[in-house]
Amino acid sequence: MKRKRLLLILIVASALLGSAVIIMLKAARQEGMPEFSGTVEALEINAGSRIPGKIERITVREGDSVKRGDVLVRLENKEAASGLQRAEAALEAAGNTLKEGYARLETARKRYVTAEKEAAVSRAEYEKVKIALEEARREMKRIQGLYEKGFVSEQELDMKRTAYRGAKASLDAAAAGVALAGAKLEVAASEVKAAERRISTLKSRVREAAAVVSLRRAEYEDTVITAPGSGVVVYRAFEEGEAVPPYTALLTIVDMRDRWIRIDVEETYLPGIMPGAPAEIKAAGTDRTFSGRVFSIAREAEFATQRDVTRGRQDIKTFAVKLRVDDPGGILKPGMTVRVRIQ
């Protein structure tokens, strides 16, 4: 029984000793953590032009609040507007020509259908006349046999011979009609193919014209520069009347909703800082304090605060640490200096 009590006392004593050590280490770490100097930073967005031009109007000033999509700058667009109009006119003309091409194709197809019907009629007529010729030949042969036996007169035989020659002439005419109808059908087929090839060419021209319109419209739309995001205009790089080169930032917008504090921490203090660690932030020159939390620690060092001037001593490097700050009133402005104490 005494042994159990002694064991219980030892367990409790060990737990209390461990807690005391943790508290002491934490207090020592906090006491050893200095107050860091930091800078308020925010997300910066540049609004620029993708084409060269002359500024016709700037609709905002430094300090103005803007929303995503608001018009900020207008460039002179006479040339761009003229180019767009010409491209749209060319597209309309290409479309009208394509419509005419479809109309011609439809006409060619109708002609082909007509020629096909005529060819069918000609072939049917030829077969009909061919049968009639065969009947005339058999009748003439039959009458000739009767004539040779003296049963019919020579006049009747001559009549059958004349009928046969007439049927043969009709067959020759029907054959010529078949040939003519076939030639017309071939011509109609070639016209259809030519019209189809023309449609293909005209479609390509319409696509090319549409691509030019898209390009010219993009150039025209590029003369109107809108805000790529919401925020406050903090810098105007150009004024009205000035010429701007392509891909140049004209205005800088800061998103005040996306602010953070950046401090540069020497590597000797970095092990005591973890993501999520709370911090007390004080604006320089005031007693106003804000709460914040660490949300980002750089993976690589940036620069050294102390250089090795004696052999055997390493440089002391710094790491960028970022903190979110609780400042719904927007008191802390980008660029302000603050003092940070990580707890």
Render pLDDT for 59-87 as a digit per residue (tens, 0 to 9): 999 999 999 999 999 999 888 889 999 99
Establish if 3 belongs to a structural domain. no
Establish if 263 belongs to a structural domain. yes
CATH of the domain at 332: 2.40.30.170
Range of the domain at 247: 33-76+230-342
> What is the chain's mean pLDDT, rounded?
86
Please give the sequence-ordered ranges of beta strands (E in DSSP) within 36-150, or none if there are none.
36-49, 53-58, 65-66, 71-75
**CA–CA separation, 341 and 164 (whole Å):** 126
- Confidence band of 20 (pLDDT split at 50, 70, 90): very low
Strand partners of residue 319: 265
CA distances from 56 to 161, 217, 244, 317 (A): 100, 19, 11, 49
Establish if 25 belongs to a structural domain. no
pLDDT tens digits, one per residue of 267-323: 889 888 999 999 999 987 777 899 999 999 998 887 655 554 444 456 678 999 999
- What's the alpha-carbon Rg for the chain, to the nearest Å? 49
What is the sign, positive or negative, of the torsion defined by CA atoms of 275, 276, 279, 284?
Answer: positive
Residues 194 and 102 both lie in one domain:
yes
**CA–CA separation, 251 and 247 (whole Å):** 12
CATH of the domain at 93: 1.10.287.620
| φ/ψ of residue 36, rounded to 5 | -100, 150
- Cα end-to-end span (Å), the chain: 46
Residues 50 and 140 both lie in one domain:
no
Contact 319, 267 (CB under 8 A): yes
Residues 154 and 250 both lie in one domain:
no
Residues 214 and 235 both lie in one domain:
no
* Residue 80 CB neighbour total at 10 angstroms: 21
For 90, the token pair is: 């060319």
- Confidence band of 257 (pLDDT split at 50, 70, 90): confident
Establish if 12 belongs to a structural domain. no
Got the DSSP string for 183-241? HHHHHHHHHHHHHHHHHHHHHHHHHHHHHHHHHHHHHHHTTEEE-SS-EEEEEE---TT
- Confidence band of 51 (pLDDT split at 50, 70, 90): confident
- Confidence band of 168 (pLDDT split at 50, 70, 90): very high
Establish if 15 belongs to a structural domain. no
Contact 187, 174 (CB under 8 A): no
- Confidence band of 5 (pLDDT split at 50, 70, 90): low
Chain length of the chain: 343
pLDDT tens digits, one per residue of 196-243: 999 999 999 999 999 999 999 988 888 999 999 999 999 999 999 999
Residues 83 and 215 both lie in one domain:
yes
Residue 112 scores a pLDDT above 80:
yes
Q: Is 97 exposed, middle or buried (0-12, 13-18, 19+ CB in 10 A)?
A: middle
Residues 83 and 214 both lie in one domain:
yes
Number of domains observed in the structure of the chain? 2
Residues 182 and 198 both lie in one domain:
yes
* pLDDT of amino acid 328: 85
Residues 6+ apart with CB under 8 A from 229: 43, 45, 68, 253, 255
Residues 181 and 119 both lie in one domain:
yes
Residues 132 and 122 both lie in one domain:
yes
Establish if 8 belongs to a structural domain. no
Residues 38 and 114 both lie in one domain:
no
Residues 245 and 114 both lie in one domain:
no
CA distances from 145 to 136, 161, 168 (A): 14, 13, 21
Domain final residue pick, 219, 245, 263: 219
For 307, the token pair is: 């250089």
Establish if 27 belongs to a structural domain. no
Domain final residue pick, 197, 219, 241: 219
Domain final residue pick, 181, 200, 219: 219
Residues 108 and 143 both lie in one domain:
yes
Establish if 26 belongs to a structural domain. no
* Residue 188 CB neighbour total at 10 angstroms: 21
